[in-house]
Structure 1
Amino acid sequence: MTLRQGPSLIMHAITLGILAMAFLWQTTLARRAWSITFDETFYLNTALQTDHDARLDPRLSQNGTGALPVLLANVPAAMTVERTSRPSEWRGSPDDPPVNALARLISSLLVGLPLVVIVYTWLLVRRGYLGATIGGAMMAFSPTVLAHASLASTDACFALATLVSLAALAAWYRKPTPPRFLLAGATIGLAISSKYSGVFLFPVLLFVLLPRMWERSSSTGWRRFVAVGWMTGARLVLVAALAGLVVWATDGFSFSGPLKTVPVEETPANSPWVKVLGNGPTASWIMDAAHRRLQRPSVVAAVIFRWLHNRRGHPAFLMGERSMEGWRWYFPLAWIVKSTIPEFLLSLAIVPLLVVALRSNIDEEVALGQTRFVWLVAGGVFWVMVCMARVNIGQRYLLVLYPLTFLIGIDLLCLVWRWRQRWLLVVGGLLMTAQVASAVAIAPHYLAYFSPLVGGAPQGRHYLVDSNIDWGQDLPALRSELERLGYDRPLLAYFGSADPEGYGLDVTMFPTVEEGQLDRFDVIAISASKLQGVYPDGDPFAPFRELSPTGTAGYSILLYDLADPQAAEALRIAWRRYPDDERARYTEIQDREP
């Protein structure tokens, strides 16, 4: 394919350069404004430990984390400082902010910026300058994309690797050749090594394989179904093996302990080993060999962790409700309340635009329709997967759907209105204007963006918490707010893993306080996730929800003046309700070296 007719290559380069600079400037604002988020501490600590040990930290796979994002951004940043051991992977250090800042910069350049470039270039090749400009602007000014492209975490890397994998799948679907098929398999491995959600690409591959295998089969009747099933299954197994090898390669071909973690005599009756093998002598011999002689590849440990995590669920909050198992409508609602109005409208327009395109029988190159088919399958499969998930902790899991929505929606707009450029120009201009306005209005608090349809960021905590609005990012804002209000004896109930000392904060952490010391403090700052009762168990901070905060730090930490008798009483109630096991766990973490 060639570039659609339009401005010169110089104009394309200038436009893309402007979008890239705008994107990087906005991520710079966010990187400088935020403290280390909850998960970034884990990634940084495992990177520092990796550099210290000269081997990949096994805690990555033990926590079901793909190694690729850590290797791309965090390990290079860790190599710029003195080697240090981090036995406590979830505890931050006052020395972390500069290292994390470098990791974030690397991630913005190597992961975030290519996301914008891919969307712009893909639409440029397919739909020309106007479509590319609309798509590039939607990406460059998307609060969701900006938020996660500003962090040294896994979500943006997963989105990038998924787009690369879909490009490889589309290339094979357009022209099936063995090299293209192997490339698609390898890129699926890269997506999984970014985030284990990448397993959704296997059913995508299935739907892409079936029509090609059907065309290839020369059998008739039921034999054709058997042949197609055999050819498809064989290729899926081949890709699974290749992808698994790629994932294991990013883990340094490491192992994470014995294949069976406990001895035979300690195996519970409900263990999958017993359910599969039984309790006979042969089963005992196999389980003993698995425990004593066989090692477990790190990728197996990660898959097991992810399976168990989804099986048991995770504490979640949705519009005043709490659950360990999540809700089928969690992610659709998160899409509505966390997307900008142009993003939401574009997603709504996809189905009617697709219907119009199909009914109109619009003439276009076959290859264009084949690539769009891959996009649509990927988007549909991913939506089904996330709606079935029992871990409902953040709209960030939907990040990959934003570039897909821009690609599909704008591609269809350009197709349906290919002879109505003025309409496309007007609609595209409105989309871009509204998108830019959304990003500018919330800057630099992109992570806390909520649609004005639900009251914006100030009302966000009533709909969703955790990484949707409160990921531990607002310690710098807390320092500014404490100085503005004149408090000097703050108590902090913090949902985060960063060390406040690293941001110039002299605060006392709530779990460390004795009941007799509560009168010493003049203000308590409570993270939104704790205020809404997601963490810890028992909803100890519930009384504060009846009070109006004195101030807010960003949109994620709320301050309550303890000179107010109601706030002081709420504090005493919270202390008594706070679980003792949480105090002990917090103390244990703090007693370790960071």
Structure 2
Amino acid sequence: MKQTSLNSLLIISLLLIHTVLIAYSANRHSPNLNEPGHLVAGISHWKYQRFELYRVNPPLVRMVAAFIPTFFMNIETNWEHFDERPGVRPVFRIGSDFVIANGENSYWIFTVARWVCIPFSLLGGFFCYRWAKELYGTRAGLLSLSLWCFSPNILAHAQFITPDCCASAMGIVSSYFFWKWLNGRSWLTTLFSGFAMGLALLSKTTWIILFGLWPLLWLVWQFIEGESLEKGTWKSQIIQLATILGIGIYVLNVGYGFEGTCIKLKEYQFVSESLSGQDYADENQSVLPLRKSSNRFKNTWLGEMPVPVPKNYLIGLDVQKKDFEHFGRESYLRGEFRDHGWWYYYLYALAIKVPIGYWIIFILASIHAIACWAGKISLQNLFVLGLPVFTILVLVSSQTEFSHHLRYVLLIFPFVFIWMGQCVLWISKAKPKTSCIFFISFVWAITSSLYCYPHSLSYFNELVRGPLKGHEHLIHSNIDWGQDLKLLKEWIEEHPEAKPMHVCYYGTLNYYGQEDIKALGVDYPLPPINTTGDPNFVPPPGWYAISVNYLKGYGWKQPKNGFTYLQKYSPVARAGYSIYIYHVKEKSLKM
């Protein structure tokens, strides 16, 4: 009884610490590049029961985030830039208009919206504990929970209203219940598994892979078991599996209010090459959002089939696919820019964005799995935990049109944390030297994560000398997502001598100018732009604050390499790890 109470206390304590860490960092950071779009989309879902905005992702997390702002807060909205033409994505402009309309009150609005989403992360952590406990015991569950609660990548995305952490949580919840179904195949686990699958589908479109992954896992499970099933048993299992998938589709439709469900395929207007059947390879990339829509299925027998998913769910998949086709977005890795990505980008990002201590624990856990192989049971659990990880990594790595964000593979983290939990089984039987390696690795991992906190988004491990050198390897949301504007504002207020000040911030100005950051209390002109590429370009004396993305030469909607001249100077301060502050004097150049 005492041990049970102690375990419960540890679980509650870890989840409480996790909550405090997320809540504080959510309050410290400004809206990132994508959050205004997510919030206004969520508001539109509640107010108008329409799902066009941000349809490249399902609406679960943004509807939860927008609930309190929509119904219980005094907010201003501006929908004048709404545009529903095929392929157009006006949500970023509408998000910028929202920030302008609400001014500095936006900080509090986004803080509240973020806090409402904290339970998603708590749910993910709890199911890491529960699954690892059922596989390897209570101590393994506590280890997996700790790995979730202190992971810098989970902390980074759990504080935002973007779908990545929510999708990771709902993915592990749904996979847990499917695993329970595989073990018992009862109608109760069938219902739970189908409902959880629907929530996963509503969290991120990536989980559409479950429609192929789960039937495959069921077949593999049966093959490994090697037991012959009677005809009636096979029929029962197939009916239950079909029920799981059917409930998942039903819950997905409920989330969209059955908007456009069962429209015939021929009635859709698509803009991607894959679904429209048109070749856009020679088009000007700047006008891709205005592509002429079409439908390759219009005059085929498939066109007569009703589509059992919401209209904007399928259109969102189409628009997302269009963004990956000939998009021309420049990608960055280890100081190199190019107009397409790398197949190994996400493997490299994992190597330097995950604490080294986590990697050591993963290796120890894998050694334990090999040393203590339990035949069929180990193989079945390996497939249930490992196949989603492998599938997601292959799927994401194969999209080499551009490579930008480690968060695209955040979905694999809870599966790996559960796998790592078995490490404690081996440690309890191992020699003191091995146990010492484990404890040092665990303490090192947590310390490394908390050392960077609350700037967890900008975390890099010691292999690349931490977040101060991280931008030499990765940029974009791996280090600079526009999250540190509030910290810059505070620094400027604390340093009135920093005049004249110039600011180049990677946020919504990335699209529409500086009006929104003026509304957020940072009203300063852009630094001079080096339009000629002159390596000897010298700006006038003054103070310069620049986001890392532009410092490194990122050029999306800004002059490429227009601000890289500041790399010749030594920064005097930082706002987090994503905005560098320079004081340019006559003799401030490095020698």
**TM bracket (short chain):** 0.7 to 0.9
1:119–1:135 contact (8 Å) kept in structure 2: yes
1:165–1:184 contact (8 Å) kept in structure 2: yes
Describe the shift of the 1:217–1:180 C-alpha distance in structure 2 as closer, same or farther (beyond 3 A): same
Map of 1:475 onto structure 2: 485
- Aligned match for 1:306, one of 300, 320, 323: 320
Deviations 1:317-361 (A, max 9, x none): 111122343111110011011111112223344544333233xx4
Map of 1:543 onto structure 2: 565
- Aligned match for 1:146, one of 113, 135, 155: 155
Describe the shift of the 1:11–1:78 C-alpha distance in structure 2 as closer, same or farther (beyond 3 A): same
Map of 1:205 onto structure 2: 214
1:49–1:84 contact (8 Å) kept in structure 2: no
2: CA distance, partners of 1:56 / 1:269: 28
SS in 2 for 1:400: helix
Map of 2:468 onto structure 1: 458
SS in 1 for 2:147: helix
SS in 2 for 1:253: coil
1: CA distance, partners of 2:483 / 2:52: 27
2: CA distance, partners of 1:211 / 1:475: 50
Matched, 1:531 2:541: no
Matched, 1:32 2:49: no
Describe the shift of the 1:196–1:405 C-alpha distance in structure 2 as closer, same or farther (beyond 3 A): same
Q: TM-score, normalised by structure 1?
A: 0.78
Trace 1:388-403 onto structure 2 (pairs within 5 A): 388-390=398-400, 391-403=402-414
Deviations 1:465-505 (A, max 9, x none): 11111011111221233345521332222111383345533
Trace 1:160-179 onto structure 2 (pairs within 5 A): 160-177=169-186
Shift of 1:234: 9.2
Map of 2:356 onto structure 1: 341
Trace 1:179-218 onto structure 2 (pairs within 5 A): 180-181=189-190, 183-212=192-221
2:406–2:478 contact (8 Å) kept in structure 1: yes
Aligned partner letter, 1:386: V
Matched, 1:555 2:577: yes
RMSD of aligned C-alpha atoms?
Answer: 4.0
Map of 2:66 onto structure 1: 74
Aligned partner letter, 2:414: P
2: CA distance, partners of 1:41 / 1:402: 26
1:375–1:408 contact (8 Å) kept in structure 2: yes
Shift of 1:211: 2.9
Describe the shift of the 1:427–1:507 C-alpha distance in structure 2 as closer, same or farther (beyond 3 A): same
Describe the shift of the 1:51–1:118 C-alpha distance in structure 2 as closer, same or farther (beyond 3 A): same
Describe the shift of the 1:502–1:116 C-alpha distance in structure 2 as closer, same or farther (beyond 3 A): farther
Matched, 1:385 2:395: yes
Map of 2:89 onto structure 1: none
Map of 1:59 onto structure 2: 53
1:493–1:510 contact (8 Å) kept in structure 2: yes
Describe the shift of the 1:310–1:240 C-alpha distance in structure 2 as closer, same or farther (beyond 3 A): farther
Matched, 1:89 2:81: no
Describe the shift of the 1:10–1:245 C-alpha distance in structure 2 as closer, same or farther (beyond 3 A): same
SS in 2 for 1:312: coil
Matched, 1:99 2:102: no
Matched, 1:20 2:15: yes
Map of 1:579 onto structure 2: none
SS in 1 for 2:23: helix
Matched, 1:246 2:251: yes
Trace 1:268-347 onto structure 2 (pairs within 5 A): 270=279, 276=296, 297-313=311-327, 314-347=329-362
Shift of 1:98: 1.1
| Number of residues of Structure 1 aligned to a counterpart in Structure 2 | 532
- Aligned match for 2:165, one of 136, 151, 156: 156
Describe the shift of the 1:269–1:212 C-alpha distance in structure 2 as closer, same or farther (beyond 3 A): closer
1:551–1:559 contact (8 Å) kept in structure 2: yes
Between Structure 1 and Structure 2, the one with more helix by share is 1
Map of 1:49 onto structure 2: 44
Aligned partner letter, 1:105: W
1:137–1:432 contact (8 Å) kept in structure 2: no
Deviations 1:151-209 (A, max 9, x none): 12211100111011111220121123455345434433321211111123334314312
1: CA distance, partners of 2:51 / 2:472: 38
Aligned partner letter, 2:486: P
Deviations 1:433-464 (A, max 9, x none): 11221122112111111001101000011111
Map of 2:140 onto structure 1: 131
Map of 2:498 onto structure 1: 487
SS in 2 for 1:399: helix
2: CA distance, partners of 1:541 / 1:511: 8
Aligned partner letter, 1:134: L
Aligned partner letter, 1:504: G
Which runs of 5 or more structure 2 residues have no equivalent in the other structure?
80-92, 281-291, 510-515, 533-537
- Aligned match for 1:449, one of 459, 482, 490: 459
Shift of 1:238: 6.7
Shift of 1:126: 3.4
2: CA distance, partners of 1:405 / 1:538: 38
1: CA distance, partners of 2:531 / 2:389: 51
1: CA distance, partners of 2:326 / 2:238: 30
Shift of 1:269: 5.3
Aligned partner letter, 2:256: D
Aligned partner letter, 2:320: R
Describe the shift of the 1:562–1:139 C-alpha distance in structure 2 as closer, same or farther (beyond 3 A): same
Shift of 1:420: 4.0
Describe the shift of the 1:146–1:397 C-alpha distance in structure 2 as closer, same or farther (beyond 3 A): same
2: CA distance, partners of 1:435 / 1:66: 33
1:458–1:555 contact (8 Å) kept in structure 2: yes
Q: TM-score, normalised by structure 2?
A: 0.79
Which runs of 5 or more structure 1 residues have no equivalent in the other structure?
1-5, 221-227, 568-594
1: CA distance, partners of 2:247 / 2:70: 30
2: CA distance, partners of 1:85 / 1:193: 25
Describe the shift of the 1:66–1:286 C-alpha distance in structure 2 as closer, same or farther (beyond 3 A): closer
